[in-house]
Amino acid sequence: MKIKKVMLITFAVLPLIVSLVTLIFLPEEIPAHYGANFTVDRYGSKFEILIFPIEILIMSLIFLLPGIFMENESNKRLMLNIGLALILVFNALDYYILFIQFNNIKNINSGVFSIERILILIFGVLFVFIGNLMPLSRRNSFVGLRTKWSMSSDTVWKKCQIFGGVSMIILGVVLLIIAFAFPNVFLMIGLLLITAVIDTIYSYLAAKKYKHTSD
């Protein structure tokens, strides 16, 4: 676990270091915002590239601090694994942003490396990874398929994490297919919402079915 903590801290700091080095080579003004049509609608100071790396640093604390309050070692490892996976995703997004700004790309949704394809690929891999981890979690208030029904007992929790893990893996695989066949962020969001609704309904049904089952 210590190695993973070191890895998380390393990848939390790395984007800021890379961005500081990149500052040397960037022009004073860079693409700072893209509109709904994925084209530049605002240019800003090159120092704006430091905003996201600083946010990554702050977000990394969110995944390190809960471990202090968690008693279950399995949940501590799970939280750390998910945190590391998310920080790696944020790293990938930050480097993609730097690539866009360094090359002064005016339309980020064109070509093979379109923003929609990149985002869907990243989240597809992330969901498959998290889905595999969910069944390993024990009842807690931080990670997993958490509803008032899934928290009702250890038995219901286990059933919900298995179901939620499988549904998330399926979602991830579908997203990977969509990324190549028909990359569309709104489609990804829609599928994510549908999966969340299905998981919530299952947690309700599982609570009704197993509420009298001994933990």
pLDDT of 64-73, one tens digit each? 665 555 566 6
Residue 164 has pLDDT above 70, yes or no: yes
Instruction: Give the start-to-end residue ranges of the domains of the chain.
Output: 1-108, 113-215
User: Roughly what angle, to the nearest 10 degrees, separates helices 115-133 and 73-102?
Assistant: 170
The pLDDT assigned to 204 comes to 95
The first and second tokens of residue 137, run together, are: 């979690």
User: How far apart are the C-alpha atoms of 33 and 75, rounded to whole Å?
Assistant: 38
* Residue 42 main-chain phi, psi, to 5 deg: -160, 135
Placement of tokens 């309904």 in the chain = 201
Residue 140 has pLDDT above 80, yes or no: no
State mean pLDDT over 8-37: 87
Residue 215 has pLDDT above 70, yes or no: no
State mean pLDDT over 17-38: 86
Q: Please provide the average confidence, as pLDDT, over all residues in the chain.
A: 86
Q: In percent, how much of the chain has pLDDT > 90? A: 36
State mean pLDDT over 128-140: 86
The pLDDT assigned to 187 comes to 94
Residue 23 has pLDDT above 60, yes or no: yes
CA distances to 16, 31, 34, 50, 189 from 43, rounded to whole Å, are 21, 5, 9, 15, 28
Q: Which of 102-106, 107-111, 175-179 has the lowest mean pLDDT?
A: 107-111
First vs last C-alpha separation in the chain: 29
The first and second tokens of residue 183, run together, are: 């990359």
29 or 195, higher pLDDT: 195
pLDDT tens, 181-212? Answer: 988 989 999 999 999 999 999 999 999 988 76
State mean pLDDT over 112-130: 88
pLDDT tier at 159 (50, 70, 90 boundaries)? very high
* Residue 29 main-chain phi, psi, to 5 deg: -115, 135
